[in-house]
Chains A and B, each alone.
Chain A
Amino acid sequence: MSPGFIHVEGLQVSYDGDRLAVAGIDMDVGEGDFVAVLGPSGCGKSTLLQVLSGLLKPVAGKATIAGTDVTRNGGGADRDPRVGYVFQDHRLLPWRTVAQNIELVLAAARVPRDEWDARIERLLAMLQISQFKDSWPMRLSGGQRQRVSIARALAIDPAVVLMDEPFSTLDEVTGRLLRQQLVELWQQQRRAIVFVTHSIREAIFLADRIVILTKGPARVLETLQVPIERPRQYEDPAITELESEIVDRVMSAWGYEQDAGHVKTPPVGSS
């Protein structure tokens, strides 16, 4: 592990130039690390990924990937370092087949043409969707589309994979299967993954380290190492125990009050 492969320092982001969406994030992700960014809905988790991918420019602070300042040149001059992005919704081009969707990002990343077929075949096989290579995305289920989206992100051989709540819209069983598959893929390929989620259990199951954010505008509340050995089981009691611990820790920071075991929700507009 080489700390600081992804380095974020004093990051502040504002959409309207007035109010901050991200009020100050510092974090480091090592090469090959699996880091989950955990925070309540609307706190600015996705905004962090948008900065790392070059979609958004911060008002202050810096973010580097492999030493390249992604806040200045929009994700790296001429695509280096390459960043794979798995969106919450798959964002596949509906008028291109599964293979064509992947071919497009390969072309954009200037991967030599003679490598395309082998890469696509290998990734689709790894994600167990080879049979859908020539299918239209609209004919696939949500889980299958999200697998294609993961294959697309990995196809360009990215230095970093950014994942923005990719399983949150899927049914429970599909979500679990894909989480398991993602861990297996990560163990095979060992790319740095920054995985944004609001699910504590998901963060613990997937990541080595969890960066917990406050409610918006986001700041880092704390960073914790997940002390559970792999392979992990989603219903592992150790995960449940750590989940409860994290709930206790984030309760007030996320705007909830706990009173004799009862949770009071924050008043509307309190953020």
Chain B
Amino acid sequence: MESASLPTQDLGRRRRATSVLTSDVVLGALGILSFAALWWYGHQKTTFVPSFGEVLDAVPSFLTEEAIWPDIFASTTRVVGALALACVVGFLAALLMARGRFWGLVTARYVDLALGLPSTIAALLALFIFKRSEVGVFVVVAIATFPFIALTLRQGFLSANKQLDDMADVYRFRPLMRVRNVFLPHLVPYSLAAIRNEYAHAWRVVVLAELFAVNSGIGWRFAQAFDRFQLVEVALWLLTFMVVLLGSEYLILRPVEKWALRWRGDA
């Protein structure tokens, strides 16, 4: 009887997981230290960067200021909503590019066009077209992020596993069963990669769009503080942006990805 080698495999896997965790912590700490060093250097060499002390002193009053939460919430809602819209558009575009002939080629040209369009230009165009409105922000973010999602998902469609399709044929999987158990799970790693990449991109575009297009959100507060030359507040909003972005990455996106891909040997 072939021996079960799971205990040894588990031990190896635990060691690898510990090693990955250790390197994550070390690299994370190095990242924070280098950021602090740059900040310190900026403060020494310019008059625009406030000191750590000034910023830290302002944190308690900043956090107790009620008005910051609706702005953080507004930006987060825009990112999530626009990214969801981009995912739907990107999925359809990927499907067309992978499976459609004429319409696939047409879609590919639009994707190419959107890929080459700088986010700033898209934001200004949206401002002209939609004036200062929520719709403009959603459209800008969707235009900036959907082509990357489409290209990643297209790879997923193109790499569909023919052998698993044959297995599903032999065992007479019904169409819905096939979609749920063969087709969609195959796309999950591609979708997660696309969402993780574009989540950070969407945040940058939302903040940029908020500078021009609306009167709320982190970008708008950032611009206000900058206009008034309140450098400590600028730094606080910058830190808020980073905390929200990295917090959601580490506390939501990564755990979700780990759970969704737990079937992989390296998960």
Residue ranges of A at the interface with B (Cβ–Cβ < 8 Å) = 53-55, 75, 79, 83, 85, 87, 89, 91, 93-96, 104-105, 107-109, 128, 131-132, 135-139, 141, 143-144, 152, 156, 173-174, 177
Contacts and interface: CB of A to CB of B under 8 A. Distances in A.
A85 B170 contact: yes
A108 B167 CA distance: 12
Contacts of A138: 263-265
A75 B173 contact: no
B164 A108 contact: no
Interface in B20-71: none
Contacts, number: 74
A139 to B, nearest CB: 6
A173 B169 CA distance: 32
A129 to B, nearest CB: 8
B263 A79 contact: no
Interface in B164-202: 164, 166-167, 169-174, 177, 181-182, 185, 188
A108 B265 contact: no
Contacts of B9: 139
Contacts of A132: 4, 6
19 contacts: A53-B170, A54-B170, A55-B170, A79-B172, A85-B167, A87-B166, A91-B167, A94-B263, A96-B185, A104-B173, A104-B177, A105-B171, A108-B171, A108-B172, A109-B172, A131-B4, A135-B6, A136-B262, A139-B6
A202 to B, nearest CB: 17
B2 interface: yes
Those 8 A-B pairs whose CB atoms lie nearest each other, nearest first: A95-B185, A91-B167, A138-B265, A136-B263, A105-B171, A85-B170, A95-B263, A143-B2
Given A54-B170, A108-B177, A177 B2 contact: yes
